[in-house]
Amino acid sequence: MLFRQLEYFVALARERHFAHAADACHVSQPALSEAIRKLEHELKVPLVRRGQKFEGLTPEGERLVHWARRILADRDALTLEVTALQTGLVGELRLGVVPNAATTVALLTDSFCAAHPLVRVQVETNLRSAGIIERIRRFELDAGILYPDRHDTDELLVTPLYQEHQVLIVGSDLLAGKSDSISWSDALALPLCLLTVGMRGRRVIDDALAAEGLSVTPQLETDSVATLFAHVCTGRWASIVPQTWIRTLGVPAGASVLRLQDPSIIAAMVLVTRAEDPGSVVTRALVQTARDASIGDVFGGPHQA
């Protein structure tokens, strides 16, 4: 069994197309097909269902492709470990991030890159928590920043990063008086623009209100953070956003930030990695950076900008 054969097998499972997999591996399609046939002959089980085109993996292939991914990941981890012993930490870190963490990921990656300047970091944003977890398990991502609730994180290493508090940003002209907090009944009476229903940032609001027998029907919904802030900047709108956005994006011109009371909506943001021991030296370094960074201390209380 050769690593090259496993690489071709994994590429085919990912691309689900012989020609695309061959292109990804920089080989001809006949070479890729022959290598996979030899792997099937050696393992004595069929891995691929073939017809006029790729028709999927066999049940045996679906089970064994996970082992192929793990073997290749362990090979890469061993190579990086040896290199780190010789010259320091090098390689690549693939990090998946949910949209609400896109404004805070720099608190982790900046420190990591400063400590390990030879490591290349690729950050993918606008991913869902479930998708990140699945891609970590498939060895397609090394780590993820996500909300852990409602998701199966068994056999994964979960490192807490910070607590996300929802706050109200509102045009100052809409406020009857100055205050640092507001009740939900008063907030819901304002002209609201919120994230679209189904997005995680909106769901935490809807779930918390439902628990109190309340609901919200905003006049404007969007999937864009920039659009929310742009409307608040007009002075005629209010929105409910994580306080983490305020630190990075700033308070919109002419707006105020108020703490929401009864209930206070809090959600945990965590770093998730594979839990194999010893695992990748790069991933271990990222986890250590997360533990040392104390990102939660940066945000303090729920109404601090």
Q: Give residue-wise pLDDT tens across range 14-69.
A: 999 999 999 999 999 999 999 999 999 999 999 999 877 888 899 999 989 888 98
Residue 116 lies in a domain: yes
**Same structural domain for residues 156 and 291?**
yes
Please report whether residue 83 resides in a domain.
no
**Is the pLDDT at 278 greater than 90, yes or no?**
no
Tell me what the mean pLDDT of segment 88-97 comes to: 90
Q: Is 167 inside any structural domain?
A: yes
More confident residue, 109 or 91: 109
Domain tally, the chain: 3
Same domain, 283 and 136: yes
Residue 252 and residue 273 share a domain: no
Residues 144 and 293 in one domain: yes
Residue 302 has pLDDT above 60, yes or no: no
pTM: 0.71
Q: How many whole angstroms separate alpha carbon 214 and alpha carbon 205?
A: 10
Residue 98 CA to residue 152 CA, distance in Å, equals 16
Question: In CATH, what number is assigned to the domain containing residue 65?
Answer: 1.10.10.10
**Is residue 78 in some structural domain?**
no
Residue 38 resides in a domain? yes
Q: Domain check: are 293 and 241 in the same one?
A: no
**Structural domain for 128, as ranges:** 88-162+268-300
> Do 272 and 142 lie in a common domain?
yes
Closest CA to 42 of 14, 4, 84, 75: 4
Could you give the CA distance from residue 47 to residue 37 in angstroms, rounded to a whole number? 9
Q: Name which of 171, 141, 147 is nearest 73 in CA terms.
A: 141
Query: Are residues 152 and 174 both part of a single domain?
Result: no
Does residue 55 fall inside a structural domain?
yes
What is the CATH classification number for the domain harbouring 243? 3.40.190.290
Query: What pLDDT score does 199 carry?
Result: 84
Q: Is residue 118, in this structure, part of any structural domain at all?
A: yes
